[in-house]
Amino acid sequence: MGWMMEIDPMSGSLSKHFEKLGAPLKNFRWSWGAARADDVVFLRVWQDQCRKLDKGLAVRVTDHVAYEKNPENAGRKERLSHVRLLAEGRQGYAVMCKATDKDISPRKVASFDRQSVFSITGTLEIDGDTWALLGPRVPVAALDTA
Q: What is the pLDDT of residue 106?
A: 82
The mean predicted confidence, pLDDT, of the chain is 86
Domains of the chain: total: 1
1 domain residue, yes or no: no
Three-state DSSP string of 43-61: EEEEHHHEEEECCEEEEEC
65 domain residue, yes or no: yes
What is this structure's pTM? 0.86
- For residue range 38-74, list pLDDT tens digits in order: 989 999 999 999 999 998 999 999 986 766 666 677 8
Q: Which domain holds residue 133?
A: 14-142
5 domain residue, yes or no: no
8 domain residue, yes or no: no
**The amino acid at 87:** A
**The amino acid at 62:** T
4 domain residue, yes or no: no
CB atoms within 10 A of CB 96: 24
Q: Is 16 helix (H, G, I), strand (E, B) or coil?
A: helix
Q: Is the peptide bond before 106 cis (omega within 30 degrees of 0)?
A: yes
67 domain residue, yes or no: yes
DSSP 65: G
Residue 78 near residue 62 (C-beta atoms within 8 A): no
